Chain A
Amino acid sequence: MRQPSLTARRVAAASVGLVLAAGAAACGPKDNDAKGAGGDSTPHKGGTLTVLNSNPQQDFDPARLYTSGGGNVPSLVFRTLTTRNRENGAAGAEVVPDLATDTGRPNKDATVWTYTLKKGLKYEDGTAITAADVKYGIERSFAAELSGGAPYLRDWLIGGADYEGPYKDKGGLDSIETPDARTIVFHLDKPEGEFPYLATQTQFTPVPKAKDTGTKYEEHPVSSGPYKVVSNENDGERVVLERNTYWSASTDAERKAYPDRIDVRSGLDSSVINQRLAASQGADAAAVTTDTNLGPAELAKVTGDKELAARVGTGHFGYTNYIAFNPTIKPFDNVKVRQAISYAVDRSSVVNAAGGSALAEPATTFLPDQKSFGHTPYDLFPAGRSGNAAKARQLLEEAGYENGLTITLTHSNSRDFETSPEIATAIQDALKKAGITVELQGLEENDYSDTIHDVKSEPGFFLAHWGADWPSGGPFLAPIFDGRQIVKDGANFNTGLLNDKTVNAEIDAINKLTDLDAAAKRWGALDKKIGEQALTVPLFHPVYKRLYGQDIKNVVISDWTGVLDISQVAVK
């Protein structure tokens, strides 16, 4: 059971871009002190919003989407029990009710969660949304032919590991109860205080059993949100959405739904998207992107132009790029060597290689620097702005490498400015000053991913990154540092192979907490404690910068997604 879940997680990690694509959009103050380009900044209803994307809205079925917080485009069509708070910054990292009246009522040890649906909820055909439909939607996601979602339901629900979905197993999943049309109860096999975060994912979308067409459902899923699918060409390459007249703002406090029509066009090159948004001609004036950031060179151009610079949204997504060590391989078994490298790293060159201070923030903690993750600032091996070569040399001497050291850094050859050669050469240059000769081993992207996630092939010293499925310490720390999640045959994310009883016990203890603020504090403390072992060298947290068209108003960017939220955007 553990293995499939981790495979799925790896898919998630590898496609964070996609998650985001599905997830959110970019940037700007909600109170609109920073204006759309012309005069009246009050958002009005009407008009067509164009979305210019590189990745298509593939498998547009709530059972199959792997999203953070329900996604960006999907969230226009699929309502869920809970959802993310559509606010700027840290407030946007909170979970709020959506179809349900609250974020869930747990029993004492957080193993039973009860939700009540709001009154008057309707699908696009005017029929009522019931608790049984939510249960059916979740059950569908267990069907092999509708795979793709996150592994948590399978891991957490009693009986989830063996359930094969409603097509094969007509009896349904007993751990989800629907005592009446508005009540749904979940029975978990272990305490999970973060269940409300999970309930934001599209698997918690109601699906009317009578309208379920199996694998064809993705062509026309029945909408519970403010928009319905009018057309879907080439598996999500072009998706046109129009108003769902049965959706009522009185039951939905989160989605604003200003435009009448939303035209999602995908398959575009990222440079084309940014050029079109910059030019802002015709329909592109009312356009945004939900998956394309500005690159370093594009940022250099945009910042030199006041008009363009005013149309850039900035956001933070919980994500960390870091150096990972495999402590079973020499010389990285020696904590002093790991510490020496931590001291020698030059974060200013690394940040520049990642696109500069506007696109990356230096990291000294493994947890992202946001409140919802429980970020507790620490810098256990202070390297300063540009590395502490003297301290690194001293540690190497103590470790018995007074004549220097030659090591190999494994990285990917993708051009993502994350695990790519640019970052690797910046580290190589910095470690040279500390007497460490770094040889580079660049691997093709899929090869790289397979190599670092298999304990048998895992190199000693490599670049890695991690992003969470929701903005909390749990999904950020547990897969990487929980010793019980070490997988022997592939899909291992605990690359430091840490199996520390006290760490495992603390993870279990925090999962029991239903007070998310209290849990966040303890995740932060745990992060610092794990940091002492120097199993990773945090490098930087990315910052997202995205252009939007001239007519775009009401730009909201939360810390949950880091990108502009389409449900808030107005074009009039």
Chain B
Amino acid sequence: MSEALVATQAAGTGPALPAASGARQFWRRLWTQRAALVAAAVVALLVLLALAAPLLTAIEGQDPTTYHPSLVDSARGGVPVGPFGGVSGDHWLGVEPQTGRDLFARLVYGARVSLGVALTATAVQVLIGVVVGVAAALGSQWVDQVLSRLTDIIVALPLMIMALALLAIVPSNFPRPLLVALVIGLVAWGNIAKITRAQTLTLKGLDYVSAARLSGWSTWRIARRELLPGLAAPVITYAALLVPINITVEAALSFLGVGVKPPTPSWGQMLTAADVWYQAAPQYLLLPAGALFVTVLALTVLGDGVRTALDPRAASRLRVGTGRRQEAKATAPVATEGAS
């Protein structure tokens, strides 16, 4: 965050913040952003698809694991028979090469694993990262040193090797998807902690935080009331980017045999298996890739929308909740928000 921006925030919209804070204000600001609303709808739809996977596949009359050898051309390497990778009334999105398993069923069941693991892992990462980051920034120098070095070590450790080691020692009867989510969460929170610490240090120096401190507020109250709203923007933005990373980490771990076990489908596994088929059976690759693309895009746009709604400066441009909306409408066109 640049000096100028901080100055604007402090001088220009600072006073409006207390009046405009609160969940209600946030939702009103979010509501004005059409892209964010569409993204939210898409994310909701994806989650719904994942939750309704058994119902949807029952309607289709398929399941994600049954082989259909008659639906692939064995003499041609097992490429699906029929147009568009074997799309038919029975198999809405075609079938998997070599096995003939139903791709629609694998895609919606795969969403359960991929989204579930990635979202849970992200939640764990954000929780640990924010707590460590804020504690490092607000704690004594000694606490900061210890926590910052710990963060450095976590960032420096190779994620995959750590995850492999952790996954290898846990008994195999522990629920695998939950375990994968926890492991990813526990070994990859370093960057969130770093971002949080840096942002907290910036915010700590601002006038309104100083004012709160001079008023005799406790550190805990300052952190909760004054710092967390300011942290939300960078943390949520970064978390939205962590989700797709976590999806691919899950895929890599599954590929190495310590993640989700076959035949349970996940998007990552589908992508890994499909990469060689991009010419012979393109839809096999495009389906999980498309699903991942839509998910990442929706989460990023939604994350950006949330950030905007949480950012007081952006909120003033949106002329929401500042009490100056009517006035602004009369004088100037609504400025579009450029990400800063």
Contacts and interface: CB of A to CB of B under 8 A. Distances in A.
**Pair from one complex:** yes
Interface of A: 271, 295-301, 303-304, 346, 348-349, 351-353, 355-359, 386, 413, 421-422, 424-426, 428-430, 440-444
A297 B276 contact: yes
A297 B76 CA distance: 8
Nearest to A429: B67
B279 interface: yes
Given A300-B281, A426-B99, A295 B69 contact: no
A353 B99 contact: yes
Given A301-B280, A359-B77, A349 B257 contact: no
Contacts of A430: 67
A351 B74 contact: yes
Contacts of B172: 441
Given A297-B281, A352-B98, A440 B262 contact: yes
Nearest to A448: B257
A198 B6 CA distance: 81
Q: Is the interface of A mostly helix, strand, loop or mixed?
A: helix
Interface in B53-105: 65-67, 69, 72-79, 97-100
Contacts of B333: none
A444 B72 contact: no
B75 A413 contact: no
Given A352-B98, A353-B98, A426-B99, 15 more contacts: A297-B97, A299-B77, A303-B77, A355-B77, A355-B98, A356-B73, A356-B74, A356-B75, A358-B74, A413-B255, A413-B256, A413-B257, A428-B263, A440-B261, A443-B257
B277 interface: yes
A96 B72 CA distance: 43
A295 B276 contact: yes
A271 B100 CA distance: 24
B39 to A, nearest CB: 34
Contacts of A352: 67, 69, 72, 74, 78, 98-100
Contact of A444 (B73, B97, B256, B276): B256
A296 B67 contact: no
Interface string B93-119: 000011110000000000000000000
A358 B67 contact: no
B66 A442 contact: no
Contacts of B276: 271, 295-298
Contacts of A444: 256-257
Interface in B255-309: 255-257, 261-263, 276-281
A358 B277 contact: no
Nearest to A445: B257
User: What 8 A-B pairs are tightest by C-beta distance, nearest first?
Assistant: A296-B77, A300-B280, A442-B257, A299-B77, A413-B257, A300-B79, A300-B77, A357-B74
11 contacts: A298-B280, A300-B97, A352-B72, A357-B75, A358-B76, A413-B255, A413-B256, A424-B262, A441-B172, A442-B261, A443-B257
Contacts of A349: 67, 69, 99
Contact of B77 (A271, A298, A386, A421): A298
B78 A356 contact: yes
A473 to B, nearest CB: 29
A349 B69 CA distance: 6
Nearest to A444: B257
Contacts of A443: 257
B98 A429 contact: no
Contact of A295 (B77, B255, B281): B77
A299 B76 contact: yes
Chain A CB within 10 Å — which of B66, B262, B277 has the most?
A: B262
A146 B47 CA distance: 61
A28 B255 CA distance: 37
B98 A296 contact: yes
B76 A355 contact: no
Contacts of B281: 297, 300
A425 B262 contact: yes
A173 to B, nearest CB: 46
Contacts of B67: 346, 349, 352, 426, 429-430
Contacts of A428: 263
A429 B263 contact: yes
A449 B155 CA distance: 33
Contacts of B72: 352, 356
A1 to B, nearest CB: 36
B277 A297 contact: yes
B75 to A, nearest CB: 5
A348 B69 contact: yes
Contacts of B278: 297
Contacts of B78: 296, 300, 352-353, 355-356
A303 B257 contact: no
